[in-house]
Amino acid sequence: MARTPGELAGARPGPAFEITVDGRAVSALPGQTVAAALWAAGVLTWRTTRGGGSPRGVFCGIGQCFDCLVTVNGVANRRACLVAVGPGDEVRTQEGEGRGELAV
């Protein structure tokens, strides 16, 4: 069913649910990305660069860069701006590209 912009502006999300971020409970809403849920919880950075440990979060917000990488449900290198959260999801922050066990 087609919806008009006016109808969409009046839309309300479903009930909130919890995800965990580094073991801490964070509230999220249906349809939110990991990045949106983190921002709403006041978390602005969730990755550090491998070379210098510089903090990173969302840069482009549209999946073109890799600044917002997180580990979601055990899968590293997920772009937080593209991955929708679900009830009970486990999100972990990353250092570098999140694959330290493969380092030479």
What is the residue extent of each domain of the chain?
A: 14-96
Kindly report, residue by residue over 11-35, the tens digit of the pLDDT. Answer: 777 899 999 999 999 999 998 999 9
Per-residue pLDDT, 97: 61
Q: What is the pTM of this model?
A: 0.79
Mean residue pLDDT across the chain:
85
Question: pLDDT at residue 79 above 60?
Answer: yes
Edge-first strand listing for the sheet containing 94-95? 55-56, 47-48, 94-95
Q: What is the CATH number of domain 14-96?
A: 3.10.20.440
